[in-house]
Amino acid sequence: MIQPRFKDSPHFRNFWENGNGKQLIEFSGAQVSFRDFEKYAPFFYHVDETGDEVVKDVYFTKKFHEASREIEHYVRNGVSENDFVPESVKKLFAQTQEVPNWLDYNLLKSGAELCMRSNLDSLISLRDYCLIGGYDYAYLNKPLIVTEALKKGAVKRLSETLDFWVNATRYDALEIHAKGYEFAIKTRLIHSYARLSIKKHYKDWDTENWGEPINSWDMMATYIGFSLVFLHSLQKLGNTFSVEEEQGIFHLWKYVGYLLGIPEQLLPDDKKQATEYFYLWTSLQPPSDKDSVLLAHSLLNESLENPILKFEFQRKNLRYLHICCTWFLLDDEVCKRLQIPEVSYRKLFPKSKILFNKIYDSLVSRDSRIKRGNKDQMQVLKDYLNITQNSNFY
Structural contact between residues 243 and 287, judged by C-beta atoms closer than 8 angstroms: no
Asked whether residue 39 is domain-assigned, the answer is no
- In this predicted structure, what is the pLDDT of residue 106? 98
The pLDDT, as a whole number, for residue 150 is 67
- Please spell the DSSP secondary structure of 147-167, one letter per residue: TTHHHH-HHHHHHHHHHHHHH
Q: Is residue 283 part of a domain?
A: yes
What is the dihedral sign for C-alpha 214, 30, 121, 285?
A: negative
> Average pLDDT in the 233-252 region?
97
pLDDT 10s digits, 18-28: 999 999 999 99
Q: What's the whole-number mean pLDDT along residues 230-255? A: 97
Kindly report, residue by residue over 183-218, the tens digit of the pLDDT: 999 999 999 999 999 999 999 999 999 999 999 999
Q: What is the pLDDT of residue 243?
A: 97
The answer to whether position 16 is within a domain reads no
Domain assignment of residue 20, yes or no: no
Q: Which of 179, 254, 180 is nearest to 224 (CA)?
A: 254
d(CA 384, CA 289): 29
Tell me if 23 is assigned to some domain: no
Predicted confidence at residue 391, as pLDDT, reads 46
The answer as to whether 6 is a domain residue is no
pTM here is: 0.95
Evaluate whether residue 26 is within a structural domain. Answer: no
CB neighbour list of residue 77: distance below 8 Å, 6 or more residues apart: 177
Taking residue 78's Cβ as centre, other Cβ atoms within 10 Å add up to: 13
334 touches 19 (CB < 8 A): yes
Q: Is residue 4 part of a domain?
A: no
Is residue 355 predicted with pLDDT exceeding 70?
yes
Integer Cα distance of 268 and 357 in angstroms: 28
Count of domains observed in the chain: 1
**Residue 394: pLDDT band with limits 50, 70, 90:** very low
| Residue span of the structural domain in which 139 resides | 44-390
Mean pLDDT of the chain: 94
Q: Kindly state the average pLDDT of the residues 349-373.
A: 95
Question: Does 15 score more than 90 pLDDT?
Answer: yes
Q: CB of 302 within 8 A of CB of 158?
A: yes
Whole-number Å distance between alpha carbons of 96 and 202: 30
